Amino acid sequence: MGACGSSVGDKFNQNEIDESHFEMHTTIGKGGFGHVHMVVKKSGDDKEKMYAQKRQIISDVCSKRMEMEVFRELDFLKDLNNVFICNAHYAFHDNTYLYLIMDIALGGDLRFHINKKLKDKKAFKKEEAQWFTACTVLALEYLHSQGVLHRDLKPDNFLLDKNGYVKLTDFGISAFVDKDTMVCTDSSGTNGYMAPEIYKDGHRHNIASECFSLGVCLHEFVCLVRPFKKEYGKDIIAQIKTVSPTRRTHRSIDENSGGPTEYDELGGIKIMQQRNKSLIADESDDARDIIKRLLFLRPSRRLGGGRGESAGMNAIKKHAWFNGFDWKGLAAMTSKPPFIPNIDQRNASGFQDDIGDAFSDGPSDSAASPSDVEKFIDYVLNTDYGERPSESMRRSQTTQMSGRDRQMEVKRQMTGAGHPTPVEVLEEDCYEDEIVDSEDKAGA
């Protein structure tokens, strides 16, 4: 492990928090540039509290030109605080790593649990699929109220805490937008989850696009697969890009649910094509209907994509599939989750048994160059002292974050001599998907 930025020994200076303020326990995950560890705070009002420590290798972040994304995630987390997202509490760096201390969610991500269900050939219960979706809806409802589009909804980014509550994470390609329009104009997301309109010229999209991504996730919760065949691989992208309004639903639309008022098209998207019917959590008409509505090609007709009562998460909450669901209890966190992960919160043994060995640390990483380390001088968050800087980065009246002075300076350094304007495309393990972020291209 690299040397800490300050050496505090047994005496802690909370104003200069560093890695020595935390006791590391076990590895609980692996990200694109490093590992996630379970740590325990050694001092302060939160002494002995457990956190997740996201540790990223500075040299890897810089070599892949992801400085803007790293700062963007921290800036979002500084401004956001909600029980249905993974909140940040501390951030610091040394000469080798960036450290982000966040809420811990030892239950694993929903991708892990989907894969486990597939392996065990067992379906989620309807109540479990509803719960996962409802937690996500409340997370999105909060984000949208703050003028934020997440832009990367997928089961990989839904984490379960030890009690079974879902927390949304990964704000690396999120965007602050104008609250009045909620419109974003660049292409960002993970292929296979991005709405069709995001692929079009101009990339104009809004909350309706998040509803489409939510629909894909809901399909996975219900059927354990997406509405696109896994074996399509890269062809998933082409399927969504070229999908045309040739198919129409042949059933009436209930106007009271806040959805479209006439027939609409699904194009080439087929739902509930899971061959093993025993793996489907709910084959009811209501389940099919909410998925179809979320996947409508035309954004304005998509469930949650309309106006007034048909807009946003409120329309989804009112759908018949959620009849009888206790939204108030969920918001107050008094409802009993139907799915409790089998995790020992102290040593995460349930999680480690399955994936811990694969994520064990290798040889020590090398220190980054002084010039690379200097880029992260402002990578700091300390909630022990002072209020959470909710005004640290206020939304401009644009749909982009690239106007931020520091991010523009990083971009200037990245796009200097020998460096083309970056368009980041990161390979994902699942379904051969790609994370796409062309914000830099759109703003160039």
Residue 256 contacts by C-beta under 8 Å, 6 or more apart in sequence?
Answer: none
**Structural contact between residues 184 and 202, judged by C-beta atoms closer than 8 angstroms:** no
Residue 185 contacts by C-beta under 8 Å, 6 or more apart in sequence?
Answer: 202, 203, 204, 205, 399, 400, 442
Backbone φ/ψ region at 324: left (φ over 0), alpha (ψ -120 to 50), beta: left
Closest by CA position to 68, among listed 195, 179, 168, 186: 186
> Residues 79, 152, 161, 264: which is the catalytic one?
152
Distance (Å, whole) CA 401 – CA 175: 7
> Residue 188 corresponds to which amino acid?
S
Residues in the chain: 444
Distance (Å, whole) CA 271 – CA 114: 17
Q: To the nearest 10°, the Cα dihedral for 72, 73, 75, 81?
A: 150
Active-site residue flag, 152: yes
Distance (Å, whole) CA 212 – CA 149: 13
Residues annotated catalytic, as ranges: 152
